Amino acid sequence: MLDKELLAKIKQIQIYTSHAVNASFAGQYESVFKGRGMQFEDVREYVAGDDVRDIDWNVTAREGKAYIKRFVEEREMTVILAVDMSASGNFGTAGKLKKELAAELCAVLAFAATRNNDKVGLVIFSDKIELFVPPKKGDKHVLRLIRELLGFEEKGIGTDINMALDYIGRVTRKRSTIFLVSDFLTGGSEFVKPLSLLKRRHDVVAVTVRDGSEMKLAACGIVEFTDAETGEVFCVDCSDKNIRQQFELMNVNRFINLHNSFTSAKIDCIDVNTDRPYINNLVSFFHKRRKRR
């Protein structure tokens, strides 16, 4: 049974994300992601002017006269939400944890997909595959995905993106759009190769989830920090200006290197923060994609 608090969160996210989808990019999703290929429908007799490359030679040989293949634009798509739910997601200083932001954003994407009759699947990972929900259609299925994300309690505390990418490549046979949602605190260069391999068969979009306090330190004296994924405890003198500057520079460089890794793998990226509205970032992403088509 779901507790009342979780049910309330699910209902709240359902109402908010449904409104966001309808108000912000109801048509943009379709214009960006739909019609990405052609699928075979049936055959018909060849008539003068038809492209000979479309001739179905097996049917032609069987019937004794030329037939060509008919194709229709492939409208149905599969979306895979691959979400990092490792222990570092249990952090947030702006009224929302990173993993809560990830769940909410995934809900928006899932509702946008189901509005266009697409299938949506879910992979939750940490340093292991925590959950796989095969792609299906419908609002009821989307609500299940939201429930799984909001109510999830990780078994692993670390992060293994390479393992997750390998798993997704094995379980996702049909060409899909894969949203890889993570804080990517493990870096970037080590998963360029598996990202590039996955990109060969699928449309891959990276979504970075951040909190402002991870980028800058407040001048608040000596603070004890605990690494959520390793358990390491260390103290930092946040009143030291040089330490704060070094911390900020380190994180800026890490973020630049991460984006360079995505660029080298030809992966689009959406950046979202716990302290800012993410809908604007999604709308901007859809606009950029549409211009490229």
| pLDDT tens-digit map of 240-282 | 888 888 888 888 888 898 999 899 888 999 999 998 888 888 8
Fold of 4-33+76-292: Rossmann fold (3.40.50)
Is the distance from CB of 159 to CB of 182 less than 8 angstroms?
A: yes
pLDDT digits (tens, 9 = 90+) for 204-241: 999 999 988 877 777 787 877 777 667 778 788 788 88
> Between β-strands 222-226 and 233-237, what pairing exists: parallel, antiparallel or unpaired?
antiparallel
pLDDT digits (tens, 9 = 90+) for 109-121: 888 888 778 899 9
* Start-to-end CA span in the chain (Å): 46
pLDDT for the residue numbered 42? 72
In angstroms, rounded to a whole number, what is the distance separating the alpha carbons of residues 34 and 28? 10
Beta strands (DSSP E) in the chain are 38-45, 67-73, 78-84, 119-125, 129-136, 177-182, 203-210, 222-226, 233-237, 268-273
Q: For residue 152, how many other CB atoms are within 10 A of its CB?
A: 17
Any idea where the domains of the chain sit in the sequence? 4-33+76-292, 38-73
* Backbone angles phi and psi of 160, in degrees to 5: -135, 90
pLDDT digits (tens, 9 = 90+) for 145-161: 988 998 888 777 788 99
Which of 121-130, 132-141, 151-160 shows the lowest mean pLDDT across its residues?
151-160
pLDDT for the residue numbered 221? 79
Which of 12-21, 28-37, 74-83 shows the lowest mean pLDDT across its residues?
28-37
Is the distance from CB of 81 to CB of 120 less than 8 angstroms?
A: yes
pLDDT digits (tens, 9 = 90+) for 188-201: 667 888 888 999 88
Calculate mean pLDDT across residues 22-45.
Answer: 61
- Written as six digits, the tokens of 166 are 């390998």
pLDDT band with cut points at 50, 70 and 90 for residue 84: very high
